[in-house]
Amino acid sequence: MTIRTILFDLDGTLIDTNELIIASFTHTLKQHTGKDYDRTEIFDFIGPPLRDSFEQVDATQVEEMVNTYREHNLANHDSYVTAYPTVIDTIQQLKREGYQLGIVTTKMKDTAIKGLKLTGMDDFFEVIIGLEDVNHAKPHPEPVIKALTKLDASPSSTLMIGDNYHDIESGKNAGTLTAGVAWSLKGREALESYQPDYMLDQMSDLLDILGG
């Protein structure tokens, strides 16, 4: 079946928030544990909801760490965040061609909208599913299914795109096609091991896939 609906993860897929996320984790972990974490250690925290990541560190300080992280993240947001190359032009083209577009993220919705507004993409998406909209975050299928329901879209004609295995697994669990992005912080090979249907070297590759 022809793809008519495209769902995107946000951070690390459409917008480059990697350095902001790393800085926010570094700040938070240092403040609450006294330990200096290096970048590779922090990579393991990126992708899941914040509470799940901080639960691994110290279950007694989860709420405090989430609050510290979000305060740092919001205060420094606009200094870091940019769209990845070819993303904005590609999204504009998809919108012109009539594709249904949605965001499925593990961020809170207001923070996701902040990033979309900063990069000029806040008018392109018909649905945004944030962490507060679901009981089960990716890789559970619920976030993708909720987006499909709001769009009245079929899984078989939908493509879920992301930079993390949570995105690929969530799409597969919901019955959609999936695509990974080669600019994933964890590396192309790590994402390819989850066998997405497509791998994008840049977002504009999506136009070739859809045209083919």
d(CA 181, CA 68): 30
Candidate list 9, 11, 133, 163, residue with the active-site label:
9
| Catalytic status, residue 110 | no
| Active-site annotation, residues | 9
